[in-house]
A and B are shown apart, each in its own frame.
Chain A
């Protein structure tokens, strides 16, 4: 009997946990007028270590999950995360995929791309876009620092989940128990 392939579900679940923790952090940072945006981290494991098809499914669903809770056109993150994922797949064979440092660099660039794209999309609504960019820049700096700190943890969490489920993220084969 063919085993159901649940790799996409594991990645989406981990991303959902990350989104929830970010939401919690933002709730408590609100009085300081600070905001964390770390969606770039969601694409790293799926793009570098999971099978391309399963990774794409996970990324598209993660994009829709993120879009559902924020006031952007539905599908924005689907497009942006999909683009990053496609770029990672394109150069995947040449990348040092297992390296933590490389994963951190990818997370940083992915988040930077998402942050700037969203800012260009949304900053026009502000009465004084010049002042809004200052705030956005500060949020970006804080978010990038947080990504720097938590990327190893988040990748380890996802690897551990796959280990616990005895599934190899790339091949989908059962690991020895």
Chain B
């Protein structure tokens, strides 16, 4: 005779039946459930970020008019400087376009810049991620590169309705074709060395034998542009040491990453104008 009450049945049998049912559920159902459960928690995830913005707003309201005038003057100088940079940038872009046409080169991937606030940081020994406060509502796409003034931040791995998740350059799941500054041969970069109370590090492999690096003479690692996700020349970090790899054909070493990644509050997403390129 079957027992009538749940707690009289072996709990493991019950769990086994539930897990078997879970395994047999279609993938579409699991994907939908995951998205639903993420969206349920999304308001909680971003709530602190919005509260922080409000706190900043009210603390800024306390500044005197003199302080605001001084800040305005400083900002005007900065705007003038950036205006000049924009003009230079336009000139360089025109040169690139002219050379592409002259040499029949394929065009470089084009991006739209989308600034986004960081809502939540999640830096563990297993993964390193950000949640940002923009998602499908701003046309973000999975795989889009994320950058800041110091270089690469990561790439978008999940896009939800109002938020997106960024896999960081410090994460062990982040791999990238990079190159050493001033050289165009590709090397392999992977994040994941994140000791407690220390700046994040990554690893670099397949570095040609002629290169050397040391703490007092580091070498800059930049994106290679291969793979079509990150534009070439974005800074990743500095190679602190290079040693012969086990096979003796290449060198491998550690990459010191920017410490500011752990405290970023705002990042820029490079949204591809042609998402098929990713």
A1 within 8 A of B: no
A138 to chain B, nearest CB (A): 5
The residue from A16, A78, A85, A135 contacting B44, defined by CB atoms under 8 A apart: A16
Range of interface residues on chain B? 35 or more
Given A69-B38, A126-B172, answer yes or no on A52-B126 (Cβ-Cβ < 8 Å).
no
A71 adjacent to B157 (CB under 8 Å): yes
Q: Name which residue of chain A comes closest to B27, CB basis.
A: A74
Contact residues in A for B196 (Cβ distance below 8 Å): 32-34, 135, 138-139
Bound-state Cα–Cα, A86 to B40, Å: 27
The residue from B34, B121, B193 contacting A30, defined by CB atoms under 8 A apart: B121
Segment at the B interface, from A38-46, A96-104, A116-124, A146-154 = A116-124
Given A37-B124, A90-B12, answer yes or no on A65-B172 (Cβ-Cβ < 8 Å).
no
B37 adjacent to A35 (CB under 8 Å): no
A163 within 8 A of B: no
Binary flags per residue of A53-81, CB closer than 8 Å to B gives 1, else 0: 10010001000110111110011001100
B4 within 8 A of A: no
A95 within 8 A of B: no
A68 adjacent to B37 (CB under 8 Å): yes
Given A30-B262, A127-B172, answer yes or no on A86-B14 (Cβ-Cβ < 8 Å).
yes
B192 within 8 A of A: yes
A102 to chain B, nearest CB (A): 19
Binary flags per residue of B35-69, CB closer than 8 Å to A gives 1, else 0: 11110110011001000000000000000000000
Contact residues in A for B11 (Cβ distance below 8 Å): 52, 56, 85-87, 89-90
Given A69-B41, A139-B196, answer yes or no on A119-B126 (Cβ-Cβ < 8 Å).
yes
Bound-state Cα–Cα, A123 to B202, Å: 15
Contact residues in A for B41 (Cβ distance below 8 Å): 16, 19-20, 65, 68-69
B78 to chain A, nearest CB (A): 26
Contact residues in A for B18 (Cβ distance below 8 Å): 56, 60, 82
Given A19-B41, A86-B14, answer yes or no on A30-B122 (Cβ-Cβ < 8 Å).
yes
A9 within 8 A of B: no
Binary flags per residue of B147-162, CB closer than 8 Å to A gives 1, else 0: 0000000000100000
The residue from A30, A53, A56, A68 contacting B123, defined by CB atoms under 8 A apart: A30
Q: Name which residue of chain A comes closest to B38, CB basis.
A: A68
Q: Name which residue of chain A comes closest to B30, CB basis.
A: A74
B124 adjacent to A125 (CB under 8 Å): no
A161 within 8 A of B: no
A56 adjacent to B40 (CB under 8 Å): no
**Which of B31, B121, B167, B200 is most buried by chain A, counting CB atoms within 10 A of its CB?**
B121
Q: Name which residue of chain A comes closest to B35, CB basis.
A: A68
B125 within 8 A of A: yes
A5 within 8 A of B: no
A172 to chain B, nearest CB (A): 13
B129 within 8 A of A: yes
B203 within 8 A of A: yes
Contact residues in A for B203 (Cβ distance below 8 Å): 127-128
Contact residues in B for A74 (Cβ distance below 8 Å): 30-31, 33-34
Cβ < 8 Å to A, chain B residues 1-36: 6-7, 10-12, 14-15, 18-19, 22, 30-31, 33-36
A–B pairs, 22, beta carbons within 8 Å: A19-B41, A30-B262, A33-B194, A33-B198, A52-B7, A60-B18, A65-B40, A65-B41, A68-B33, A68-B40, A68-B41, A70-B122, A74-B31, A74-B34, A83-B15, A86-B14, A89-B7, A123-B125, A126-B192, A127-B172, A138-B196, A139-B125
Using a CB–CB distance below 8 Å, which chain A residues touch chain B?
16, 19-20, 23-24, 26-27, 29-35, 37, 51-53, 56, 60, 64-65, 67-71, 74-75, 78-79, 82-83, 85-87, 89-90, 92, 118-119, 122-123, 125-128, 131-132, 134-136, 138-139
9 other contacts beyond A68-B37, A139-B124, with CB at 8 A cut-off?
Answer: A20-B45, A27-B120, A29-B123, A71-B127, A74-B31, A79-B19, A92-B7, A126-B172, A138-B196
Q: Which 3 A-B pairs have the closest CB atoms?
A: A68-B37, A30-B121, A35-B124
